[in-house]
Amino acid sequence: MRKWVIAAFCLLLTVAAAAQERKLFRGFDGGMMVHTGYLSGNLDAIGYEAKGAPKGIGGVIRFHLGEHFRIGCEGYVSTLGQLGNGSYLKYGWGGLLADVYTVRGRFQPYAGLTLGGGAMTSLLMMETPASAWAPIDGTRYHKQGFLAVDPFVGCDFIVSGPMHLTLKVDYLCALSRSSLLPHGPRVYFGFLFYH
């Protein structure tokens, strides 16, 4: 997986360099976002329904090609707490993105798609520990990789030329073993810096 990410990043840099030579390159932006939302789904292997509001953080970098098109990459970690005893489902994922945008006064709406993948790690403790270091019966741990497509829409508010606030909504769709991955919409808020 790491080789694919490095190869994809090199491809992005090559495209950006070619665009610069043809005067298509118009700068770049990047920043960090926090997110929440609502995820749900059945973990069929153990007959458990996971659901709730995830908490997460991540970031994005995009290269501007022409007046309305951007390419780049993004990556996030989302944690979905379960059972109130330290159990969780955690997604670490990222990918390559492309989006289109326009500017309307101080607002900059955009829509795009990310292709990528990652891994979901789950730790479910079906009982509450009696004390520290006590063994817990019925604990389930699982980690699996997945490929994903992630459509998104959003809008920036232009605070100043180099600084934007952004609000984004996405829906992560797993392309592999999707029955094991809780899914649903997530809402992102963050700061972006333009150059």
Q: What pLDDT is stored for residue 101 in this prediction?
A: 95
| Dist CA 96 CA 73 (whole Å) | 4
The pLDDT tens digits for 16-30 are: 555 555 567 788 899
Q: What is the pTM of this model?
A: 0.82
Domain 2-194, second-level architecture: Beta Barrel (2.40)
Residues 26-51, buried b or exposed e (16+ Cβ, 10 A)? eeebbbebebebebebebeeeebebe
Q: Where are the domains of the chain?
A: 2-194
> Could you tell me which residue, 130 or 174, shows the higher pLDDT?
174
**Burial (0-12, 13-18, 19+ Cβ within 10 Å), 1:** exposed
- 113, containing H or E segment: strand 107-125
In this prediction, residue 150 has a pLDDT band, given cuts at 50, 70 and 90, of very high
Return all residues near 101 (Cβ < 8 A) that are at least 6 apart: 68, 70, 108, 109, 110, 156
